[in-house]
Structure 1
Amino acid sequence: MTQIKSTVDRAAMAVSGGLILLGVVVLGLVETLAGQPYGAAPLTNDAGEVIAMPLIAPNLRTGLVILGLVVLLLWGLYKLATPMAGGDTETTPAESTAD
């Protein structure tokens, strides 16, 4: 069965995929290229002073990924709510031979 992707389907997939890739891959690569520290929490010394912070806030990266997942959730709800295009509206019983 072939599925026809509408403009809404393509837009939802592009936006959600783009947000998730931006939050995980692109910003992760930027964080890696920026150097130490790699963790999400700031590094402190024994006195409790912050000596190093991550370049990109972990809240921003998490927010982008969650926003991408929310777009996917809304798209899934949209697909459940709309009827399938090109489907049969009436069902006819199949003929069978009796033995």
Structure 2
Amino acid sequence: MTNIIDKAAMALSGGLMLLGIVGLGIAEILAGAPYGAAPVTNEAGEIVATPMVDPTLRTGLVIAGLVVLGLYAAYRVATPADGTDVAKGHETMAD
């Protein structure tokens, strides 16, 4: 059974990671080339094209999602299991 904290952690972490990976990835594709994280330069060293979304922003969103999952895991380890969680793991007799 999931409670409000479980649902909030799943939604927040999933939303942050989806936004960072899929959402901003689609925005990069729609913006056109270049698709790389580094600016594109010509032979003279002048910057001729840069990515639409800063790669540190995308990385920060994904890391924030992972941090939320880590905090949620620490919360689940620190809280005691209630009766409904224990009842699911009952032993059965083997044949």
TM-score normalized by structure 2? 0.87
CA distance in 2, matches of 1:73, 1:5: 17
Matched-pair identity in %: 60
| Structure number having the greater helix percentage | 2
TM-score normalized by structure 1? 0.83
- Aligned-residue CA RMSD in angstroms? 1.5
**Structure 1 residue 15 displacement after superposition:** 0.1
| Count of residue correspondences | 86
CA distance in 2, matches of 1:32, 1:10: 31
CA distance in 1, matches of 2:22, 2:79: 33
Provide runs of 4+ in structure 1 moved above 2 Å: none
Which of residues 56, 68, 73 in structure 2 aligns to 1:71?
68
Counterpart of 1:65, as a letter, is V
1:85 is matched with: 82
Counterpart of 1:15, as a letter, is L
Distance of aligned partners of 1:75 and 1:59 in 2 relative to their CA distance in 1, 3 Å threshold:
same
| Rg larger in structure | 1
Q: Deviations over 1:43-88 (max 9, x none)?
A: 0011111000000000000000000000000000000000112159
